Structures are given as structure tokens and as C-alpha cells.
Amino acid sequence: MKHKSVTVIAKIGLDHQSFLGNTVEEIALQKAGIIRSGVPCVVDDSNESSVLKVIQDHAKEVGGVELHYPSSDSALVQVLTEEGYEPHQVQNLACALLAFRLACPDVDHSMSRLLPIVKQLQWPGRLQKIDLFPITGQHQAALLDGAHNSQSAEVLAEYVNKHYRSRSRSITWVLAASRGKDVDSIMSHIIQPGDQVTAVQFGPVDGMPWVKAEDPANLVHQAIRYGVDTQTTHNSGDDVRAALEWASKAAGDEPIVIAGSLYLVSSVLRLMREAESDQKA
């Protein structure tokens, strides 16, 4: 990575504080470490003004850096919005496309060429729609999202409220979290009275022994604090399959959302692959 064509700093939120710092400004300074003199840097300008100032100040200190902001290309943002992408997806795509244009100025980067490619993109674990049939034996849609901090939980909540709550009585959640995460903040965004919740513990993470799962009992307790009836909660222990089976039965025709941890996302997708492989054998 010594020879960079372009660098990108996306939306910054509170996460990995033990490594990066306890405020978004401290984290922004760490993220700004990728900035290099003579290399253009794309910055998501939906970041807080204090975050943008930290990045701008660091760029001045490095010297010879031109910062680029995707919202300056209003036509690009408008096209992506009209295509139905969510606001955070628009920002991420706009950053990526602007970076591509800066890194490959001689390549055709018209939207007529790029949009069909963008439409083929799949984001595993990010607003991913899956069918639980391989695991539960029932064709049932579920939304799989790795929202694991306050910022991503807020984005997920906006999506769920917009697309699901308007036509559903409740959401059935399958939740896990890493120990040390701000579970209270996550729950405050996604959980509403009348929801149903099962909490589960993901297994050991290869090569990262310091990552531990939150006790499912604590997640259930937090859900109850935010209005979930005790009778509609479930502790699945460390059995992800059992959590999905409980959610499938509890939800009926109502939406299922699996969230709270990218490690949970990994566990679910692994179960899906194993189940599909077994069915083909």
C-alpha cells in the first residue's frame, strides 16, 4: 500500500474505542492517517462538522492533499437516490464512484456504464435479504444486517421503520453483540414495544481470541427495558440455529431481522452454506 492512487474516508461513528479513541474526533484523526501527500482523498461529507475539521486540519498538516467530497456531484447523488438506494448507501456509493473516477481518469465513468455494474453489487450482511428455508425448512424471508454500533443501528432502524413497521404489527429480532459494545444505544434505536426478541451468543472468532460475545441474558434484559414483553423474549444460548428456528415460529407472517454483530452474520451465512451443502449431498 505504499503507492496509493486515492484514499477514502467514509462515515465515521463510535466503534472500536479501545483501539481508536473515545470520541468521533479522536477516531477521525486515526482514520485520517491514510492521507498521503500528493494523493487525492475522498471524504464523506455527511460526517459531523467536527469530524470534517479534524480531517481537513490533518490534510493541511500533511500538505499537498486535495480533498474531494461526493455531495459536490449532485447529479450522481440524484441518480442513485432515484434508483432507490438508501441514504447511507448513496453516500457510500458516491464515495466509491468518485474514488474510481480519481484513480482511473481515462476510463469511461459515465453513469450509463457504471449504474448497471452498481446494480449487480451484493453487500453480504448489509440489508441482505435471505430465505431461512435451508435452516428451518420453511420459506421465510429475513433481513440480515451486521449493525453493531449506534450509528449502524440507527441506519438499520430507519430502514426497518420505512419498509417494515408501516405494514407490520411487530418485528421479530435475532440479536447478538460483542462484549463491550454499547448495547443500550443499539437497542434504543431498533427495539419498540410489541417486538419479539431472541438473543444468542456467537462462537469463538478465528484468530481473534479477544473478541467475546455478550451474554444473551443481558441482551434480553435490555430488550425488556425498551418495552418488549417478557413472554415474547427467548434466550437461545450459543445455538444460532435454535435462535433462527424460534424466530421463524414466533414471527409467523411478520418480519424477521437478524442483527447486532457481524460475527452473528458470519454464523448465519455459514449455517446457510452448510445446510445447502447437506441438501445437495
Sequence ranges of the domains in the chain: 7-119, 128-280
Dist. CA 241–CA 199, nearest whole Å: 12
Residue 265 near residue 258 (C-beta atoms within 8 A): yes
Burial 20-29 (b: 16+ CB within 10 A, else e): bbeebeebbb
User: Count of residues for the chain?
Assistant: 281
pLDDT for the residue 281: 60
Collapse the DSSP code of 281 into the 3-class scheme (helix H, G, I; strand E, B; otherwise coil) and give the result: coil
Name the fold adopted by 128-280.
Answer: Protein-Tyrosine Phosphatase; Chain A (3.90.190)
Q: What's the pTM value of the predicted model, to 2 decimals?
A: 0.80
pLDDT for the residue 161: 92
The grid coordinates of residue 102 equal 480519481
pLDDT for the residue 177: 95
Burial 224-241 (b: 16+ CB within 10 A, else e): bebebeeebbbbbeeebb
pLDDT for the residue 73: 66
pLDDT for the residue 87: 83
Radius of gyration of the CA atoms of the chain, in A: 21
What string of pLDDT tens digits covers the 281 residues of the chain?
Answer: 667 899 999 888 766 555 555 688 888 888 888 999 999 999 998 888 999 999 999 999 999 999 999 876 677 778 888 888 888 888 888 898 889 989 988 887 777 888 888 888 888 888 999 999 999 988 999 999 999 888 899 999 999 998 899 887 799 999 999 998 889 999 999 999 999 999 999 988 888 888 899 999 999 999 999 999 999 999 999 999 999 999 999 999 999 999 999 999 999 999 999 988 777 66
